[in-house]
A and B are shown apart, each in its own frame.
Chain A
Amino acid sequence: QSVLTQPPSASGTPGQRVTISCSGTSSNIGGNSVNWYQHLPGTAPKLLIYSTNQRPSGVPDRFSGSKSGTSASLAINGLQSEDEADYYCAAWDDSLNGSVFGGGTKLTVL
């Protein structure tokens, strides 16, 4: 059971907008920034969003992050076939004094 809660799956057609939610508590998302990672099996995970809504250099602006209270969201606009991957949210947890990940969301592009 992960500390951060994500839907196990999401899907969309090319060009669509898809959002992935991440629910936590006041000790993690509520009080700290959220990070999002993209992971394709057999490869190194990739940082997609840091500090809740910042994109690292090279990440397309189709990807955006937001937070409200103890929940965060990753939005993908203009969905592309290469976006098919697993997506994870993560945040520092002040109560656990460590980092926590969501269980991951498998995104399928139909």
Chain B
Amino acid sequence: EVQLLESGGGLVQPGGSLRLSCAVSGFTFNSYGMSWVRQAPGKGLEWVSTTSGSGRNTFYSDSVKGRFTISRDDSRNTLYMQMNSLRAEDTAVYYCAKGRSYSGYGSLDSWGLGILVTVSS
């Protein structure tokens, strides 16, 4: 059974940093692209970032480019999102999701329950 468990969320001040983790099990981690998707309060789903199975190819939404960094540790079966220079508009539930393909371009077939990140002073 595929499982994804996010951690590392919480309350952070504007301008601060946070690192999200997503521990996965039930599949061969380095064979699939992985993504982060977020949902701000009262809003819809917003794609944030994707990494390929190798981690060599990474993609970011314009809203986080230059501030967020996606990475993966295949030895720990864990996906990360380093979030710097956080803004109030980054407040959201962040979901970790498994891609159906190695590239990560396509659909996301398994999702975690999400972790709340609140950016506020």
B-binding residues in A (CB < 8 A) = 2, 32-33, 35, 37, 39, 43-47, 50-51, 56, 86, 88, 90, 92, 96-104
Is B102's CB within 8 Å of the partner chain A?
no
A42 to B112, CA, bound (A): 11
Determine whether the beta carbon of B47 is less than 8 Å from that of A44.
no
Q: Enumerate chain A residues within 8 angstroms of B113, measured Cβ to Cβ.
A: 43-44
Contact B109 A88 (CB under 8 A): no
Q: Is the interface of B mostly helix, strand, loop or mixed?
A: strand
Number of interface residues of B (CB under 8 A): 24
Contact B114 A101, beta carbon cutoff 8 Å:
no
Q: A14–B109 Cα gap in the complex (Å)?
A: 27
Which residue, B35, B109, B112, has most C-beta atoms of chain A within 10 A?
A: B109
Main secondary structure of the interface of A (DSSP, over half): strand
Neighbouring B residues of A44 by C-beta, 8 Å: 95, 111-114
Given contacts A33-B107, A56-B109, 17 further A-B contacts (CB under 8 A): A2-B44, A35-B106, A44-B112, A45-B111, A47-B107, A47-B110, A51-B106, A51-B107, A86-B44, A88-B44, A96-B61, A96-B62, A97-B59, A98-B47, A99-B35, A101-B46, A103-B44
Which positions in B face A, CB cutoff 8 Å?
A: 35, 37, 44-47, 50, 59-62, 95, 97, 100, 105-114
